[in-house]
Amino acid sequence: METAIAKAKTKMWAGGRSPFNVSYGKMMMWYFLLSDSFTFGAFLISYGTIRFSLNHWVDHNYVFNEFPFTEANLPLAFVSLMTFILIMSSVTMVLAVHEGHKMNQKGVEKWLALTILGGLAFLGCQAWEWTHLITSQHPVLVNGVLEHWGTTVSHNPWGPDVMFNGQQVGTPGPVAFGGYFFGITGFHGFHVFTGVVINSVMLIKTKRGDFSKRGHYEMIEKTGLYWHFVDLVWVFVFLCFYLI
């Protein structure tokens, strides 16, 4: 009788199947990603509210038309390269998880290393883009005086063009552009940097054989969920800042 009661008490949870058929670690990762998506969503909704409440905004084809080591006018080419790099790093992450399912340590090491390189390449591209926007000087007419501005959180040289002393110069644009651009892309870049650090730790643990000893590579899969989330968020950031 006591045995039957004990079985009845433990049947649902103790050692049974998870309600969502996933491990505790995976479930917590999904909860974290859901909460993080709310944060990004709030930022992007706030940006969209300001963006569409103003009559003038920056011309993306003019602001983001530079490419390293060339003087050619290539609108959105560089940010498209950044997007391609990040998407390819998501592919290598999928392959790392796949090799983990097959318990292939060398395969996990190879694809994780390529994922890390992709993340570092993306961060390097973002650093160049930020440096270029901040340090480039553009003529801006301010209260009848010609000044030269870079793009910062407090200065936006991408306002409507006017004629001044026979040349076409800009006027101050909405100051919100710099704050939102550097704030949101910087927040996403921090996530990419965090992902690179986590993947580096996973690579070290893989080389040490920690996961082979455990008999599974679930940690690689959980890290992959985070990395795919970062890639997915970039799609929305790219849409909001560079296309709309």
Q: Output the 3-class SS for the chain.
A: CHHHHHHHHHCCCCCCCCCCCCCHHHHHHHHHHHHHHHHHHHHHHHHHHHHCCCCCCCCHHHHCCCECCECCCCCCHHHHHHHHHHHHHHHHHHHHHHHHHCCCHHHHHHHHHHHHHHHHHHHHHHHHHHHHHHHCCEEEEECCEEEEECCCCCCCCCCCCEEECCEEEECCCCCHHHHHHHHHHHHHHHHHHHHHHHHHHHHHHHHCCHHHHHCCCHHHHHHHHHHHHHHHHHHHHHHHHHHC
pLDDT band at 2 (very low <50, low <70, confident <90, very high): very low
Per-domain boundaries in the chain = 28-243
pLDDT of residue 20: 63
pLDDT of residue 12: 44
pLDDT of residue 18: 58
Using the CB atoms, write b or e for 130-139: b if 16+ within 10 Å.
bebbeeeebe
Q: Over the stretch 3-30, which tens digit does the pLDDT of each residue have?
A: 444 444 444 445 556 566 778 888 889 9
On the question of pLDDT at 169 being above 60, the answer is yes
Mean pLDDT of 119-138: 95
Q: Over the stretch 36-95, which tens digit does the pLDDT of each residue have?
A: 999 999 999 999 999 999 888 988 888 999 999 888 889 999 999 999 999 999 999 999
Q: What's the CA gap between 150 and 155, in Å, rounded?
A: 7
Q: What's the CA gap between 113 and 193, in Å, rounded?
A: 14
Residue bearing tokens 């899969």: 221
Most confident of 5-9, 144-148, 183-187, 239-243: 183-187
On the question of pLDDT at 180 being above 70, the answer is yes
Q: Topology of 28-243 in CATH? A: Four Helix Bundle (Hemerythrin (Met), subunit A) (1.20.120)
- Cα 83 to chain centroid, rounded: 10
Average pLDDT, the chain: 89
Most confident of 64-78, 105-119, 129-143: 105-119
Of the chain, the percentage scoring pLDDT greater than 90 comes to 68
pTM: 0.88
* Two tokens, residue 231: 């890639």
pLDDT of residue 143: 87
* Two tokens, residue 218: 């679930």
